[in-house]
Structure 1
């Protein structure tokens, strides 16, 4: 239903507060508790939300400022986003923010959008991390340095971020349509702003913007996860309450978009490899009663497979895909429909077909079944987010930006109460041709024009102040994020056909249950030439069985607030499940039906291939896709039928076109099976009944093909620097790789892990390569390195990457190789090893707090026999390393004389 506007939400790719304050320290005042969200406030205007969840082993600190591109004035376009970047530089009291974040480890980021800017840190739960996060956020709220020297470097980084978005045809078209649809309101402006404004603004001007909006009375602080509430309140009082309430009064924005008086049209002609159609309708603010009904209507229109537009456009093969979304915003919002068009379709003819189908929205008679289906899907999404406390706290950013955190509950309540009359009303009110884009004036004597809905702050206050919410959910039990605790709560066993399972007893908020299964199948000989068949099959497993239609499958999963997703890669079918304790048995019954009774309708196969190929066509000249594809092709020399062969993008397109339904059915009946599989389930489930359910689901599902693990061949890399020209693309990619032999049990593995951390992977953009390319020289938006040391073979590699402006290719190439050469010649320092070790440990601790990591560890143990203790053993070995060992490992495996590099971009552009 919703899709993030490309270049809309922008991310930073990512002491003690001044004693000069005269403000007296105070304890936050308790306001209310709405469904587990405890609200407090300070006299300086800061709002505080605490969301406790003992089942988490992590916590998040998220601070939201009510400033985004909506607040930018003349000459300030992009200033909110640029300021977000600058707040990761330094503060007067604490110094280098990025270095501190790097040393601390964990996950951190900042994002900017239409109504708000936020900064968050996710760390393992402990008092020290909580205290530091609050101290840091309080310091950079009012003490950021915003130096001209830092700003000069950051210009090219933001410009590079802008250029990455310019490479996406659908995103650029969407941006143009939005800007055309809004005549006066700032929602028509891209959050990333004008390159001219960004590159001309001075640090003192940016500081004025910062001092105006970055104040406690314009911020909401959210702390969520596992933490000590009393200490959190104490730290908030210590660091935030001493910041004085500003004397300035923030002027409220008051621009109201006038009623549109005719269809508008924008035609965008520029380089690209895909055809797209988009349409926008002005709608209502998030706080308005119509917003929920409009959301449900867009679900009714575009859902796969039940959507009205989906059936008439995608299912009828007139387009390859359609999506819709409605931003969560403070003022009058919009609904955007995005349509991907196959290259063999006439774009003008398709545009008219799409417009004709859109015209039917106000006159279509919607049913109770439509409404129930949409409500189930939306409520499932709401519950899924709410029961992941860390994600929920970050997701609150949008809702707070739209006016008040309680609006999210009010929205949910509105969804639950929706009727078909509500859907019919908003369809007729908002979805008129004179309320969408097309650019031609049509006189009309009796034109019914829609005026933008305006919601005042006072109305939002009245709407939310007495809201109590539903009954509080029971507190979840604590679960320590450690291997020892994982083992203590793990029950493992084997089903009758050999499937190995691991059950992790862990209470998840809302009674949620997560499951992950891996089913390796067949052998390299029998899978030859069938890689694409397996991939398409996985996407078709939910398109219908002997007993259920695609629509019935999706509807029931939505009603159960559950999801089942498949993927096939190499020789493994992956199955991921998200459900709830009370629904687990039924969801597994549905899964069994999909695994043994799927029918693979011909029309679904055709639609899926069309959608895949439309996507691939749009990436024929995408620098990132080209770079990764061609690097692999330059290094490996497999036969085309091998499961390890890397095809060109065009070869993939051609191969998909040749897949027949009979091949899908043959793969399904003879290749797929569970008898060599493994799986893990995380949740508060009874072990005995869960095993019975797993036995019923997988116990008789066996493959007719003999399983043998396929292993890749070793190809030694050689010196190569090769350009691939992608015409008229604003961004470019540099990518390099060195191959070598290593396993995870190799004596050098721990040392090489840390060598990679220091060189390009570790910290918060503070490793040598990103520090040089982004922080020091500002020639790349994102740069770094990664290693691939597989579990089942010794074919390993080290790779670096950088995103850049094509004109900076030589500078990026030189800087990257200089940093590698310098590391090989002089080595790393003991201080570098020490700081990166702390960051690396904290990152691992953070990852161990996620259910996905727990399932991956258990599955790896079950499939390959790698003890769970190895997770801790690696850390013990790394902690014992000396810098001389790290330097020796680096020199042993890395050499510029063996590095293959490719560069994809428009390097001919002057």
Structure 2
């Protein structure tokens, strides 16, 4: 009896414990508020939750943000936040190998670190299972990351490799030097990627202390965006996160304030490079400050192509080739940077003189209401486009949350809408002072006006955001299942009498957005001889002005309609991409028609574009990645130098650009371009008659005078080589590899080749063989893998390889790449278990792709162009499901041999 009572009491005790445990699990996030479709919740442990449902999506994203970045690093900790970001993709005590799990799930995943925050996100096809797994995984690595010394020993080399890749770019290094000189005390002056010495010396136990301090629920905000069941999401959040205790430690606020700059500062950087660069930094304010939007608008007024004041003074006069500016969205007093690229055949001193003179004169300029309206249109277009892409919005809010609160994004939008000319003039006079600029020397002065740093406290941000209600919104409730069957059911194909084939996918897109992608194949081998660069420049100038509108008016119209039109020409195809909204569809297509039929190609714009392109070519002439990939194209494609597929050297491209005359552009435009052999796809909630009217009016009478004959690529067999090209004074190196063979997508071996590439180097989240070997096991490469090119209407196929690494590791990279390829093609090959995992990951990635409008445009255009049935998408998956490891091993051995692979290595291999 006593025994039974003891047993009963034990059972009761277990039940009580279970009930307590269940009570913790059952805690659901507490609703706080809803603003314009964003629903805010919180947990008792301090974790914040933001849900952004979008029924029109077929994907979802889970994004968790920790309020820790380089701003929070102390002595000896430089780069620790970024290093920890890498380490949290290793393993956890509960779930194990994070990268392996992400690989098996497919989808897209990443982690990023910046000044104020670190984030991790996963994009998956919408399902309860994917949502549940992602939340469980994020909760697990919040508190259970293993952070093993053996993993750290490998990963620091990868992070160092990432650091070295950045060191190859003189423009980014100059910006880093300017920022570090401008910020003497505040941590914004430190590079987020960190000190190489700190990265190499930090121990796992030290990293763990940092992790346990900052990776906690009270320092995190969890976002879920896209299509998901809200109640299930709240249930899963409660289940996996509510049981994590709020830590006893108190996170002290950072309090360092950068003193007011007391004189212009100057930086000189001397390195290997081919393009001269001028930069300037001004201290500004936190993202939460009321002046932030005005400074962004003023930046647009100064730098926009073609209306910007700085742009006109430097680029339009051809003193410089390009100009851009940047103001990061950060928590503390920020900065505004300007960067100007000057071709090596132009005077750096002259450009510098004009640049500084224009900057000095900002506070004295007479800006206009037209300037303000133009800047507001551009900023509001960007804001609307971000808001109406829920996946991107959910990730973009990372910066805003790091800056203090997600509602600041709405307040920023409201501030942009309310901007006045007075606001612009006020910030121009307040912040653009010479002694607030990093460029110069010390000059003794008396009672000089200085720009003092502005602090925005947490209480200030709370006061700004807590009572904010946002605007009234109409919730998008229409859904769309991204399956081949549903795509077919909502797709209608048409053909104009001129020959243009197009399709309309009737699909709800958030914000009533409309997207279109057209491909116009033109000309023939004879008519296009020696015209590769001409075609490229023509496409680049189709927004440079028409008989009815100037370049400035064209850009203003696009910004006011929150629309974009882009052109690109390669080979014998003009690509046209358009995004707009239902209410602006007609005027946007009208504008497109004007650009295609009435362009005038101003001489001055031609010179600017050619100068910019030459400068870009010069900038990449000694970049290891560009050198390796450009050279392998030249070695593997032996076309005559007048052929449209000829791979020209940088010197040849520059020589071709120098020969271009305006008359050639006009002739190409009038005789070569036309829509009569084209295809195109529109996506949006347009009915067939609307789309037909738009397409017929825009393209119906735009026909090419040149006879179209498709130029098919020629097969050139590759032969073994292993060559090195020296690029002096570059911190990072690159290798590109390639083998050519004959195959197209109809070949019986195609499915096996796809999966061979998936397992060798392109699949999963860094879990295929090449990245596992070079990055995970040996830590000698930040990025490595393979890629496959199998055409539809010809048989010129190839398999490529790549890796980025420290030049001192070239021997190890050579051995590792060759060894991994050799293992597959000559010895043991892939295993059945590898194949099983790879198929799951590959199919999940494809399902994610079906939820992306950009992929749907590609898929439908492929159908129109080649007659490829949409069902082939599913047929390929069915064929892959039937594959065995032996079949794949036989196929890759059939087509790939180390005796035929070209390897090109580029880097400073004299480094020790």
> Which residue of 839, 845, 848 corresponds with 2:847?
845
Describe the SS at the equivalent of 1:77.
Answer: coil
Residue number in structure 2 paired with 1:114: 115
Aligned positions of 1:271-420 closer than 5 A: 271-420=272-421
1:378-407 CA distance string (max 9 Å, x none): 000000011000000000000000000000
1:485-540 CA distance string (max 9 Å, x none): 11111111011211111001011111111110000001111101001000001000
**Alpha carbons 1:476, 1:508 under 8 Å: kept:** no
Q: Distance in 2 between matches of 1:617 and 1:368?
A: 39
Q: CA deviation at 1:349?
A: 2.9
Q: CA deviation at 1:800?
A: 0.8
- Count of matched residue pairs: 893
867-876 or 839-848, which deviates more = 867-876
**Alpha carbons 1:23, 1:242 under 8 Å: kept:** no
Residue number in structure 2 paired with 1:866: 868
Q: CA deviation at 1:367?
A: 0.7
**Alpha carbons 1:62, 1:393 under 8 Å: kept:** yes
**Alpha carbons 2:746, 2:792 under 8 Å: kept:** no
Aligned positions of 1:440-459 closer than 5 A: 440-459=441-460
Q: Distance in 2 between matches of 1:902 and 1:430?
A: 49
Say if 1:196 and 1:378 are closer, same or farther in 2 by CA, change over 3 A.
same
Describe the SS at the equivalent of 1:826.
Answer: coil
1:107-146 CA distance string (max 9 Å, x none): 0000000000000000000000000000000000000000
Residue number in structure 2 paired with 1:629: 630
**Alpha carbons 2:37, 2:475 under 8 Å: kept:** no
Residue number in structure 1 paired with 2:188: 187
**Alpha carbons 1:44, 1:216 under 8 Å: kept:** yes
Matched, 1:552 2:536: no
TM-score where L is the length of structure 1: 0.97
Q: Distance in 1 between matches of 2:174 and 2:692?
A: 51
Describe the SS at the equivalent of 1:56.
Answer: coil
Describe the SS at the equivalent of 2:50.
Answer: strand
Large movers: runs of 4+ above 4 Å: 18-23
Q: Distance in 1 between matches of 2:370 and 2:19?
A: 62
Residue number in structure 1 paired with 2:12: none
Say if 1:283 and 1:880 are closer, same or farther in 2 by CA, change over 3 A.
same
> Which residue of 903, 906, 909 corresponds with 1:907?
909
Q: Distance in 2 between matches of 1:321 and 1:719?
A: 40
Q: Distance in 2 between matches of 1:108 and 1:723?
A: 34
Residue number in structure 1 paired with 2:677: 676
Describe the SS at the equivalent of 2:904.
Answer: strand
Q: CA deviation at 1:822?
A: 1.0
Describe the SS at the equivalent of 2:362.
Answer: coil
Residue number in structure 2 paired with 1:751: 752
Mind listing any 5+ residue stretches in structure 2 that lack a counterpart? Answer: 1-17
Aligned positions of 1:135-284 closer than 5 A: 135-284=136-285
**Alpha carbons 2:319, 2:347 under 8 Å: kept:** no
Q: Distance in 2 between matches of 1:807 and 1:790?
A: 37
**Alpha carbons 1:21, 1:244 under 8 Å: kept:** no
Describe the SS at the equivalent of 1:102.
Answer: helix
**Alpha carbons 1:486, 1:504 under 8 Å: kept:** yes
Q: Distance in 1 between matches of 2:607 and 2:447?
A: 45
Describe the SS at the equivalent of 1:222.
Answer: strand
Say if 1:624 and 1:430 are closer, same or farther in 2 by CA, change over 3 A.
same
Q: CA deviation at 1:443?
A: 1.5
Matched, 1:39 2:40: yes
1:700-757 CA distance string (max 9 Å, x none): 0000000011111111111110111101111001111111000100000001100111
**Alpha carbons 1:476, 1:507 under 8 Å: kept:** no
Describe the SS at the equivalent of 1:45.
Answer: coil
Q: Distance in 2 between matches of 1:83 and 1:22?
A: 33
Aligned positions of 1:689-700 closer than 5 A: 689-700=690-701
**Alpha carbons 2:263, 2:434 under 8 Å: kept:** yes
Q: Distance in 2 between matches of 1:23 and 1:349?
A: 72
Q: Distance in 2 between matches of 1:47 and 1:690?
A: 44
1:179-230 CA distance string (max 9 Å, x none): 0000110000000010011110000000000000000000000001000110
Say if 1:525 and 1:86 are closer, same or farther in 2 by CA, change over 3 A.
same
Matched, 1:534 2:535: yes
Q: CA deviation at 1:346?
A: 2.3
Describe the SS at the equivalent of 2:427.
Answer: helix
Describe the SS at the equivalent of 1:567.
Answer: strand
Residue number in structure 1 paired with 2:605: 604
Q: CA deviation at 1:884?
A: 1.3
Q: CA deviation at 1:20?
A: 12
Q: CA deviation at 1:22?
A: 11
1:843-871 CA distance string (max 9 Å, x none): 00001100111111111111111111111
Q: Distance in 1 between matches of 2:351 and 2:588?
A: 39
Residue number in structure 2 paired with 1:894: 896
Q: Distance in 2 between matches of 1:689 and 1:104?
A: 40
The alignment yields a C-alpha RMSD, in angstroms, of 1.2
Q: Distance in 1 between matches of 2:687 and 2:764?
A: 40
Say if 1:20 and 1:566 are closer, same or farther in 2 by CA, change over 3 A.
farther
**Alpha carbons 1:173, 1:268 under 8 Å: kept:** yes
Residue number in structure 1 paired with 2:4: none
**Alpha carbons 1:731, 1:805 under 8 Å: kept:** yes
Q: CA deviation at 1:319?
A: 0.8
Q: CA deviation at 1:21?
A: 8.4
**Alpha carbons 1:23, 1:243 under 8 Å: kept:** no
Q: CA deviation at 1:23?
A: 8.8
Say if 1:81 and 1:22 are closer, same or farther in 2 by CA, change over 3 A.
farther
Residue number in structure 1 paired with 2:15: none
492-501 or 134-143, which deviates more = 492-501
Q: CA deviation at 1:611?
A: 0.5
Say if 1:443 and 1:22 are closer, same or farther in 2 by CA, change over 3 A.
farther
Describe the SS at the equivalent of 1:745.
Answer: coil
Aligned positions of 1:722-761 closer than 5 A: 722-761=723-762
1:218-259 CA distance string (max 9 Å, x none): 000000100011000000000000000000000100011110
**Alpha carbons 2:523, 2:706 under 8 Å: kept:** yes
Residue number in structure 2 paired with 1:834: 836
Residue number in structure 1 paired with 2:816: 815
